[in-house]
Chain A
Amino acid sequence: MNLLQQFFLSPVMQEILLPSFLIALIASSMSVMVLAHRLSFLTVGVSHTSLAGLGIAVMLSLPLLPTATVLAVVIALLLAVLPKRQGITEDTGTGLLFAGSMALGIILISKASKQDVDLFGLLFGNILTITSDELHWLLVIGSAIMLMFITMGRSWWSIAFDPVTAFAEGMRTSALRLFLYGAVGLSVIMCVKLAGIVLTTGMLVLPAACAWFWGRSLLSLWLFSVLFAGFGTASGMILSYAQDWPSGATIVMVLCVFFLSSWGMSWLMQHRHKL
């Protein structure tokens, strides 16, 4: 039996393929907007609030994923609203909430008993430990994100390009921005399960970063981004299975290789007449 057969016949891999590809689809779709709106640092900030979410969930005996989801969305919405109203820059606001929630998480977790906390899984991701409840939760928030992306994607794209003109053309830019930040917050929570707090930003930046070299419209960028994330996830999972590497880190590493290859190919295509 070759490696691929072993991989697809493995019961564990069969269980995690669906959630992994679901996360890849959501992350690649939202990564187009993360790059267009320059929200990479927001994804870093919101992903680190998961630690506070874990701390609160453990202290109050709440389910982890829903608690972290609520906290991530609240933080993302605060970051959409507060910097504008309080006259501080968005990256300062993100930095403050990022550091504050991280500190809160560490304090709360230090008070919890060690067997309640899978800190390694949260930091670096561990899709192998996904439960059926968590899978259902991911399906619900994944559907909500895709619904928002499909109904508001073009408006988000237009606002990213020229928010002033979009507003003057009658678009409800403030409301659309709130939905965008909320969707990014939800996407972060999905990615934390696969790639962990530390590598979530990679999942929400790299697919679109690869597609940036090839797409020329929202739809083509989206398509390329999904393709890169799909191939990256499949190859990363197979590689992690073969080498016994952590799956999240391997997927992000493969996407980094895709990015460098895209960059190189794009450069070669632009400069081939000079070579």
Chain B
Amino acid sequence: MSTPAVHLSNISFSANGITILENISLSLEAGHFIGIVGPNGAGKSTILSIIAGLIQPDHGHIDLMGQCLKRFNRHRLLKQIGYLHQLHDHEPHLPLTVREVVSMGLPNYGAPLWIPLRAEKKVLDALSFLDMQSHIDADFRSLSGGQRQCVRIARALVRKPEILLLDEPSAAMDSKRQQQLYALLRELCDREKTTVIMVEHDIAAITAHVDSVACLNKHIHYHAMKGEQIPEDIWHSMYGDHMHVIAHDHGCIGCQPVQNEACVDACMDEKS
């Protein structure tokens, strides 16, 4: 059996006396695409921050590409990770072209100024992947929210990461672009064997593309693989009894298929 790309073992984390994560264990092979869903405050972003080395867990350990993530090797291991967070509210308005923002993701971006980056093709490839190549010379500040998000994703991709951590990547994107993004990520997993861990709220939108869905609320309530159904009581234990799972198409992970074949979108709806 090959070494897992990401292996979390009994991860626990608390802040200010409040338990955020409890006994999280997860093992993902290279090329696996996992979606993490859960209510607000479930610890979805925290788990990504722990894998990205931003915060230290209270207990447990993390193996990335077969190596234990420690303080001394963190910077070396993280060079192989692409990360997109969702805290962009305080992003300063620096005068930057899209080209420079994407270049920041290159592993050698921090090289001395006399060394040219020679990364035009890599930057263009990353932007083309998201259909943003025509904006390469645009001022980042002039882009729309969705376009900026695409540029940030291109920054995460430009380093050709082994592991891609995405915290709500579809935020500010329209539904068409969302679906394009998930399809592209699927392609990335299949073609480049990139392991993608993606936090999303909209399970309906992701289930057709991911290999598995982890239902997280402090701990992993259920980890459903492709073709597997998530029992309704799992949704209730995560979101409460007022949630009602209503529909699904046949190829997706998650909910019970309904009798009505015309209803193809999976969604969760509040009981009226």
Contact = CB atoms under 8 A, between A and B. Distances in A.
A216 interface: yes
Nearest to B138: A216
Contacts of A165: 83-85, 104, 152, 155
A150 B104 contact: no
Interface stretch (B89-97, B125-133, B227-235, B242-250): B89-97
A154 B155 contact: no
B100 interface: yes
Contacts of A157: 94
B72 to A, nearest CB: 12
Given A160-B94, A216-B96, A169 B81 contact: yes
Contacts of A107: none
B67 to A, nearest CB: 14
B113 interface: yes
A161 B104 contact: yes
Contacts of B53: 167-168
A161 B81 contact: no
Contacts of B96: 161, 216-217
Nearest to B86: A164
A170 B213 CA distance: 28
B101 A161 contact: yes
Interface in A140-179: 149-155, 157-158, 160-162, 164-172
A168 B78 contact: yes
A170 B85 contact: no
B7 interface: no
A151 B87 CA distance: 28
Interface residues of A, number: 30
A117 interface: no
A152 B111 CA distance: 7
A161 B75 contact: no
Interface residues of A, dominant DSSP: helix
A169 B95 contact: no
Contacts of B88: 162
Given A168-B54, A169-B78, A169-B83, A38 B95 contact: no
Interface string B92-125: 1011110111001101011111100000000000
A82 interface: no
Q: Report which residue of A38, A150, A167, A170 has the largest number of chain B beta carbons within 10 angstroms of its beta carbon.
A: A170
A216 B103 CA distance: 14
Nearest to A219: B113
B103 to A, nearest CB: 9
B172 to A, nearest CB: 16
B159 interface: yes
A170 B97 contact: no
A124 interface: no
Given A151-B112, A170-B79, A161 B92 contact: yes
B138 to A, nearest CB: 10
26 contacts: A38-B92, A149-B113, A150-B112, A153-B113, A155-B109, A157-B94, A158-B110, A161-B104, A162-B88, A162-B104, A165-B155, A168-B53, A168-B54, A168-B81, A168-B165, A169-B78, A169-B83, A169-B105, A169-B159, A170-B79, A170-B81, A172-B75, A216-B97, A217-B95, A217-B96, A217-B99
Interface of A: 36, 38, 149-155, 157-158, 160-162, 164-172, 212, 215-219, 221
Closest 8 interchain pairs by CB? Answer: A170-B78, A168-B83, A155-B110, A168-B52, A170-B79, A170-B75, A151-B112, A217-B100
